[in-house]
């Protein structure tokens, strides 16, 4: 009985240890599938600052749908909207380098 309990405890510890080490959550690395550090950083900033109005899936909410914004607006036009606002969107919700990263990331949404 003690051997079975010891085996169960060791097995559980091994599974928990592997689970804690697995699952690379760092989205800033290039995974070889077209993802780049800037794109991942842009997505993270979007999730923090923009998703409340534009939705976590880019489909809109209070703000418009951005899922295909890159097909109608260039990176510079998106950056201009971020900096100057438009409609009900206030200006400078995201600023500086962060705004560049978000604009770059959104410009690839086509």
Asked whether residue 2 is domain-assigned, the answer is no
What confidence score (pLDDT) does residue 10 get?
65
Predicted TM-score (pTM) above 0.85: no
> Which residues, at least 6 apart from 103, have a Cβ–Cβ distance to it below 8 Å?
42, 75, 76, 78, 79, 82
What confidence score (pLDDT) does residue 32 get?
42
Per-residue pLDDT of the chain (110 residues; tens, 9 = 90+): 777 766 766 666 666 655 544 444 444 344 444 455 666 899 999 999 999 999 999 999 899 999 999 999 999 999 999 999 999 999 999 999 999 999 999 999 99
Domain coverage including residue 90: 35-110
Asked whether residue 8 is domain-assigned, the answer is no
Asked whether residue 10 is domain-assigned, the answer is no
Residue with tokens 């939705």: 55
> Which residues, at least 6 apart from 56, have a Cβ–Cβ distance to it below 8 Å?
47
């Amino acid at each position: 009985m003690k051997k079975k309990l010891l085996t169960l405890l060791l097995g559980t510890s091994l599974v928990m240890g592997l689970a804690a080490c697995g699952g690379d959550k760092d989205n800033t690395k290039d995974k070889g599938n077209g993802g780049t550090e800037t794109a991942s950083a842009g997505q993270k900033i979007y999730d923090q600052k923009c998703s409340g109005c534009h939705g976590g899936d880019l489909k809109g909410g209070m703000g418009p749908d951005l899922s295909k914004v890159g097909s109608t607006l260039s990176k510079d036009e998106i950056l201009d909207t971020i900096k100057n606002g438009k409609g009900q969107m206030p200006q400078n919700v995201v600023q500086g380098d962060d705004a560049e990263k978000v604009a770059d990331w959104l410009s690839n949404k086509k």
